[in-house]
Amino acid sequence: MKVYTNIADFKPLKNAVCTMGIFDGVHLGHQKILAQVTRTAKELNAESVVITLWPHPKSILQPEGKIKLLCTLEEKIDLMAQQKIDHLIVLPFSLDFSNISADYFSKHYIAESIGTKLFIIGYDHRFGKNKEGGFEYLKSHANEYGFEVKEIDREDVDNAVVSSTRIREAIEEGDVNEASHLLGRPYIISGKVIKGKQLGRTIGFPTANIEILYKEKLLAKHGVYAVKVSFDDKVFGGMMNIGIRPTFNEGEPNVEVNIFDFEGDIYDKNVKLELISRLRNEQKFESIDGLIAQLHKDKESSIKILQEYGIEIIL
């Protein structure tokens, strides 16, 4: 997949099947649209093109809302690549960009700059100044713009619409199983390993402290989770804590992971954590011995869950 961050760098195609959206999380609903794009492109001997925006428009238009995102730009690019898209165009979103009319965007971006012959749009997607663009708008102007337009129905799971908002709510409640169900994969948290206070080493459970580099990334509810850990093209099982470590009277929230079957220095490495299942709430223990006893139980539970998930754990 080729990635572009400037529309001027994109050479118009002779035959493109294109779609557009924020695609935060690249969830099952998004995947339905992307699958239609790639499948149709193959049928028409065309190339598939996806337009997305970064940063999220709400972070610019409604900064007071402080929206939390399901994926960083790097995660979104990786997830798009997994969908076998040929071209991904990441358009920088700004206040000036928000004032581009649907007519100008359709003519100069979708038609001329990309060479779109078929534009596939999600059932509720709107674009352009004042959100004037949508399926009905494109359909009524299709001849003028020189491309056909097709609308994709919404994706339902368990009789409820799949949406980024619904997934955010599940993650905020710690229901990562529901989030995984709607995403079609585990929820991902990624970051860089930094040096911490090394409190875990003193009790036999050394942890890697993870710095979340993108502050708008949504973290799951405080608690303990069984996780799949990936770095340097290697995969491990582990258990992660999100919270303030109340037993040690820590005040600042942090993310730390105990990696099973691993010893070594991974400071400054980028680590991907996939949240497989939530074990329990974070809690304050009356003694360090009580914490250690619970951590042993957490590890046993995590190993069982991860083995059932298909992650090999060396005991």
Q: What is the CATH number of the domain that holds 108?
A: 3.40.50.620
pTM for the model stands at 0.90
Task: Provide the 3-class DSSP secondary structure of residue 291.
Answer: helix
Q: In this structure, which amino acid lies at residue 181?
A: H
pLDDT at site 251: 65
pLDDT at site 249: 61
| Residue 52 forms part of a structural domain | yes
Task: Provide the 3-class DSSP secondary structure of residue 276.
Answer: strand
Return the closest-CA partner of residue 236 out of 268, 197, 263, 217: 263
Q: What is the CATH number of the domain that holds 215?
A: 2.40.30.30
Domain that holds residue 293: 186-309
Same domain membership, residue 190 and residue 115 = no
Q: What is the mean pLDDT of each run of 10 residues along the chain (315 residues)?
A: 97 97 95 95 98 94 87 95 97 96 97 97 89 93 94 78 93 97 96 81 85 92 97 95 77 88 91 97 87 94 95 77
DSSP 163-227: -HHHHHHHHHTT-HHHHHHHHTS-EEEEEEEE----TGGGGT---EEEE-S-TTBPPPPSEEEEE
Same domain membership, residue 10 and residue 124 = yes
- Domain boundary (136, 155, 174) is at 155
pLDDT at site 250: 63
Same domain membership, residue 129 and residue 26 = yes
Q: Between vectors from CA 297 to CA 296 and to CA 299, what angle results, nearest 5°? A: 65
Same domain membership, residue 216 and residue 137 = no
CA trace torsion 36, 77, 180, 260 (10° rounding): 140
| Residue 47 forms part of a structural domain | yes
Same domain membership, residue 96 and residue 140 = yes
| Residue 204 forms part of a structural domain | yes
Number of compact structural domains in the chain: 2
